[in-house]
Structure 1
């Protein structure tokens, strides 16, 4: 009976020693793994510091409130930093992580958490940069549309003043010829632009601008240039009217761009992008915890 107990004890001791040896070997391989990751850790720490400093709540609140100060100053600075510093770091991190080879299965499972975190960090930076750039483009395009509308009203007032102050019958005759052509052009343009206020798809509206409205405006410009004029006032009416047509061309081109920006923004939820910040932070916490467990041989 004593012999049997001794054998059992010896087997248990051997098993414990084997476990201890395996644990020590895993801890040693973990240390080697960390040394191999040193350069990657350096890039990751710099990238993470940049990303952690992004105030997601502030972005959400400013964009929701349409804060113009944020749009013109902080927004531009943030986009520049994302594109110039953060995204290159995220790309570099993912490239180096992909090149890293891990042979130990236990460490590889742990390493995959780091790989996932690196990808989420890139996605966060890339998607946020794209969203903010699109938002900025949309705001700036809307501002240009307002400026074009104001310019159109200013030109219209100037033209009306010239027409009202026509000084002789020849000028009045030539101006009336211009007005007839302008009215005809206006009716044609109004009819062709109705689709833009309807329920048609954005693609249909953009096609209408490209295929119908812009060529039509080019024809309207030609129609005014083909009229023979001799009086200074009539020529000035035509000149101002041409400025208005060129403004229309810019307006519809900008309108088309605005449609694309707004559609893109509507198809993406900003909150989903901002939530990626919490996702990579949670993965980083898991990675650190798992690393400590591996180093302790658990």
Structure 2
């Protein structure tokens, strides 16, 4: 009887161990089955990425931005925002729905979600780089616009000064011209010392703390100047507009410095250009999955 009970007890223990050993692989198989659907969503994302001509980013980021290149950069931005990232969102949402009941499979899911996060960070970096390139193009266009506006107002000043001289307002013309010359010398000296600073942060600080306040002071000074001649009053208005265009110019210069600094921190050679470039982030998870599966073989 004791022998029979002993045999029965051994059988029950074996059955219990067998039951436990089947529970984990079942949970794992459910995870792997769902993972196939997740990877299918990832494949759709990769296909979308491959259809976007990201390889041209290498050349576009180096060349002067002609209209054609500007359009190409804008198109890349639109494709990333409207096509690639929505596909990635679908993939990420599917990954978050992976079933995980046991602690072991929960760890696997957590590891997989880390790979998804790594891929998102890479695409975010790519998106940031393209945005910065577009911002750089826009800022350079603005600088050109403000430069032309400055020259336009300077030309008008010269015309009105000439009219003032012809009208016989020589003393007022002389005082006004001298004021502008003094302003320009001071501004040129301050601006050159600021922009030529090799420390970019110091250059940016110099624009906001020295150049901009100086221009503001010169505008206020011109507004307070007592002028009787109609022609010189018109020249003063032109001068104020000229200084406003200078303010916008230097604000944009400061912006371009900030953009350049951010761009310099991104190694565009390492940015993903094809879906396959994201596959390396799967390796750690795949190794972990294979280790878990090996324990049940």
TM-score bracket for the superposition, by shorter chain length: 0.7 to 0.9
- Does the alignment pair 1:90 with 2:105? no
Q: How much does 1:220 deviate? A: 0.6
Range moving further from structure 2, 219-228 or 186-195: 186-195
Contact 1:75 1:132 in 2 (8 A): yes
Q: Match for residue 267 of structure 1?
A: 265
1:126-165 alignment to 2 at 5 Å?
A: 126-165=124-163
Instruction: Report the secondary structure of 1:230's partner residue.
Output: coil
Q: Match for residue 237 of structure 2?
A: 239
Q: Match for residue 51 of structure 2?
A: 53
- Does the alignment pair 1:167 with 2:159? no
Relative to the length of structure 2, the TM-score reads 0.76
Runs of 5+ consecutive residues of structure 1 not aligned to the other structure = 1-21
Q: How much does 1:95 deviate? A: 5.1
Range moving further from structure 2, 59-68 or 202-211: 59-68
Q: How much does 1:77 deviate? A: 2.2
Q: Match for residue 184 of structure 1?
A: 182
- The verdict on how the C-alpha distance between 1:81 and 1:94 changes in structure 2, with shifts beyond 3 A counting, is same
Q: How much does 1:151 deviate? A: 1.9
Instruction: Report the secondary structure of 1:274's partner residue.
Output: coil
d(CA) in 2 for partners of 1:55 and 1:30? 38
Instruction: Report the secondary structure of 2:166's partner residue.
Output: coil
- Structure 1, residues 208-260: CA drift from partner, whole Å, max 9, x if none? 11122111111111111112223221112111111110011001100100000
Relative to the length of structure 1, the TM-score reads 0.75
Q: How much does 1:35 deviate? A: 4.5
1:115-130 alignment to 2 at 5 Å?
A: 115=113, 117-130=115-128
Equivalent residues, number:
275
- Structure 1, residues 26-57: CA drift from partner, whole Å, max 9, x if none? 5x656533553476445434322222223332
Q: Match for residue 17 of structure 2?
A: none
Q: How much does 1:102 deviate? A: 3.4
Contact 2:118 2:281 in 1 (8 A): no
RCO (CA 8 Å, sep 6+): is it higher in 1 or 2? 1
- The verdict on how the C-alpha distance between 1:42 and 1:57 changes in structure 2, with shifts beyond 3 A counting, is closer
d(CA) in 2 for partners of 1:77 and 1:275? 15
Instruction: Report the secondary structure of 2:228's partner residue.
Output: coil
Contact 1:124 1:277 in 2 (8 A): no
Measured on the aligned residues, the alpha-carbon RMSD in Å equals: 3.6
d(CA) in 2 for partners of 1:48 and 1:108? 26
Q: Match for residue 32 of structure 1?
A: 30
Runs of 5+ consecutive residues of structure 2 not aligned to the other structure = 1-20
d(CA) in 2 for partners of 1:169 and 1:144? 39
